[in-house]
A and B are shown apart, each in its own frame.
Chain A
Amino acid sequence: MLNFFFHTRFDYTLMIVSIGAALLGAISGALGTYAVLRRQSLLGDAISHAALPGIAIAFILTGSKTPLILVLGAAIAGWIGTLFIVTIVRLTRIKYDSALGIVLSTFFGFGLVLLTLIQRQGNANQAGLDTFIFGQAATLLQRDVLTIGILGGFALLITSILWKELKLLVFDEGFAASIGLQTRLLDIVLTSLLVIAIVIGLQAVGAVLMSAMLVAPAVAARQWTNRLNLMVILAGCFGAFSGVVGTFISSSATGIPTGPTIILCVTFMVVFSIVFAPNRGLLWNSIKQRRNRRSLKLVTNRLVESASANNRIIENDNRKY
């Protein structure tokens, strides 16, 4: 075991990938907390799929695969997708879930069309664009990790600056509006932060699995605490931890892709938290239930005893007269 870690410590690629995965897990975990609390867990899924045409268009326009440019394209497309969803829900009777479904599938389809267009042009540079669909953490380079770190750090900074406002928006939007906060603006800011967290992770884990990176750490963290600040920190830690563990597991054997392994790690943490978390967990609940049942039985037994004792006294009294 020690030998394993000692050996891998000097593997530069592995180090870069695991740092990238850890950063990504921390950022998406922390920002995903807000999405989960606002019951927008699947917005991440929609944004990550909707980002594909943006990546393709960014590539067609600039011909470069610089992560920053592709991320910018992805962010703009993800943003437009979110705008679509909000507009559909606001102006028609179509519900949130259908709006999400339409945007995620059709935007993704449009992205595929653009990708086949690019492929047909036979641009030698295009290889690697489809890593954005399935993700390929192993291809993370130092510049990618730098991009993740800078953009993610920026997103986390904004979150901490607007901490109080975002907290109010999440838990009581009506009250936030009533005390004069710009809830619409805050909503836009929060969604933009979510978009940032998603697009920087697309290359590593891909469109399909990115949504789990947002949802799972937050759900796991939710089981352990009722406080927002602790939940954000815990979710960040869970995300980072599973990023590192997933990277190491996938590097320990051939043919285990990194992204899915990270997702399975974080899913395992969710299951563990749901079962074992104190106060909320299933195990804790069943113990509590059993204890309640026992104490209820004790109380009823005592009542029955005292009732029969009373009866005896009454009977004795009756006999006297």
Chain B
Amino acid sequence: MITENINLLTAIIAVVSASACALPGVFLVLRRMTLMSDAISHAILPGIVLAFFLTHSVSSPFLIVAATATGILTVVFVELLQKTKLVKEDAAIGLTFPALFSIGVILISRYSKNIHLDIDAVLLGELAYAPLNQLDINGREIGPVALYVMGFMLVLNVVFILVFYKELKLVTFDASLAATLGFAPTLIHYGLMTLVSMTTVGAFDAVGSILVVALIVGPPATAYLMTDSLTRMLILSVIIGSINALGGYWLSILLNVSIAGTIASVTLLVFVLVFLIVPNRGLVSIARRHIRQKWEFAQTMLVIHLFNHEGLPEAQEESEIAHLHEHLRWEPSFALRVVKNALNNRYVLQEASQLMLTERGRAKAQRTLVQ
């Protein structure tokens, strides 16, 4: 009974974390800033460590405040570096977070030999332990801390997006228009970055910093393959994130492996699957469209060829099936298949070894030539 309870709690925490991460992730993906989440998730380490040294408690809310501040500091550092115009954006990100992360690692290994705060747990996270860390009020345990933290972040993200939906949309798709209309893009930008930092910090404890990136980037990118509408993308991201979390959790129990790692693997799997089969934009439909267009084009070539020579002295020779490949420079086998397709579509008729245009085929040739 207890284990069942714990399994259910873990699953709920996973779903709530995934949903909370996916929402700001949508805007990061659209604004081409996803790597900021990677940077933030690593760079908050020194903030967490310093706050931990000050409070001597892993579950102090001060930890979250300090880590969020460090996350915002990372954004500021990256932007300052960029503003010098001596460093490009990608290099600025690539410089900032390893440096901050290094400071965190050195602090941990130098001063916290005997305290419960090891890099493994911080970086990799362990969802399995999340339900065990219960929130304690007046000696009564009222549920896992992680669930409260991530539930709060989910609500905060939803409220922020609902309230500033118009502003976020405008700043995302046309920052300069937003600025001219007086929508303070910088303010919205920092608001979003604060949310990303807070969400990252909250999720970090439960799932670790690398999985946070998978939760933030994976579902929105998958949803981006499926829709053109921002609202639909937001909803789809939450759904996909939840499916990934549940599927990953279930699979990890089945195989008895790292929960966070399995959720990340499932995220990749779902992304690849959608990438392959999504209608219109998927790899399969792109390939099918290519093939269809190839045959379509070949048949058009054929009817135009026949049309050009129709009723002329050389028509006899030009519409000989066995010689078509010479006139159109096709492989003989390809030419035969084109003829077969054209016969099926009733563009042409076969009389002995000759091809004749049908009314339909003639119309098609004329239409194409006029265009």
Contacts and interface: CB of A to CB of B under 8 A. Distances in A.
Interface in B186-231: 210-214, 216-218, 220-221, 224-225
A282 B106 CA distance: 29
Contact of B265 (A113, A218, A223, A282): A113
Contact of A42 (B94, B264, B286): B94
A182 B124 CA distance: 41
A61 B154 CA distance: 42
A261 B103 CA distance: 8
Interface string B35-50: 1011000100000000
Contact of A113 (B81, B120, B213, B257): B257
A100 B218 CA distance: 11
7 contacts: A93-B281, A100-B35, A105-B211, A109-B214, A133-B123, A208-B98, A257-B106
A260 B101 CA distance: 8
Contacts of B216: 101
Interface residues of A, number: 63
Contacts of B38: 42, 45, 101, 104-105
Contacts of B35: 42, 97, 100-101
Given A112-B261, A256-B110, A101 B99 contact: no
Given A49-B210, A120-B257, A263 B34 contact: no
A255 B95 contact: no
A58 interface: no
Contacts of A167: none
Interface string B250-283: 0010011110111111011001000100000101
A98 B216 CA distance: 10
Contact of A108 (B29, B81, B210, B225): B210
Interface string A10-54: 000000000000000000000000001001111011000100000
Interface stretch (B84-92, B232-240, B359-367): B84-92
B212 to A, nearest CB: 8
A109 B210 contact: yes
B91 A36 contact: yes
B256 A120 contact: yes
A219 B275 contact: no
Nearest to A270: B95
A255 B94 contact: no
Contacts of B105: 134, 257, 259-260
Contacts of B33: 97
B262 A109 contact: yes
Given A41-B93, A260-B106, 11 more contacts: A96-B32, A101-B37, A101-B221, A105-B38, A110-B261, A112-B210, A116-B257, A130-B120, A267-B98, A274-B81, A274-B87
Contacts of A91: 275, 283, 286
A113 B208 CA distance: 14
Nearest to B283: A91
Nearest to A261: B106
A36 B113 CA distance: 37
A98 B94 contact: no
Interface in B98-128: 98-99, 101-103, 105-106, 109-111, 113, 119-120, 123-124
Contacts, number: 202
Contacts of B123: 133-134, 208
A102 B286 contact: no
Contacts of A208: 42, 98, 101, 123
A94 interface: yes
A274 B221 CA distance: 35
B124 A112 contact: yes
A109 B267 contact: yes
A210 to B, nearest CB: 9
Interface string B266-310: 011001000100000101001000000000000000000000000
Grouping DSSP codes into helix (H, G, I), strand (E, B) and loop, the B interface class, with mixed when no group exceeds half, is helix
B252 to A, nearest CB: 8
A212 B94 contact: yes
Contacts of A102: 214, 217-218, 221, 267-268, 271
A264 interface: yes
A106 interface: yes
Contacts of B283: 91
Contact of A92 (B90, B225, B263): B225
Contacts of B258: 109, 112-113, 115-116
Given A95-B32, A256-B106, A109 B93 contact: no
Contacts of A209: 98, 101-102
B94 A110 contact: no
B336 to A, nearest CB: 32
Contact of B264 (A110, A260, A263, A270): A110
B124 to A, nearest CB: 6
A300 to B, nearest CB: 28
A100 B34 CA distance: 9
Contacts of B98: 208-209, 211-212, 216, 263, 267
Nearest to A107: B268
A117 interface: yes
Nearest to A120: B256
A110 B32 CA distance: 25
The interface centre, meaning the residue of A49, A105, A117, A260 with most chain B CB atoms within 10 A of its CB, is A105
A118 B156 CA distance: 40
A280 B257 contact: no
Contact of A255 (B93, B103, B110): B110
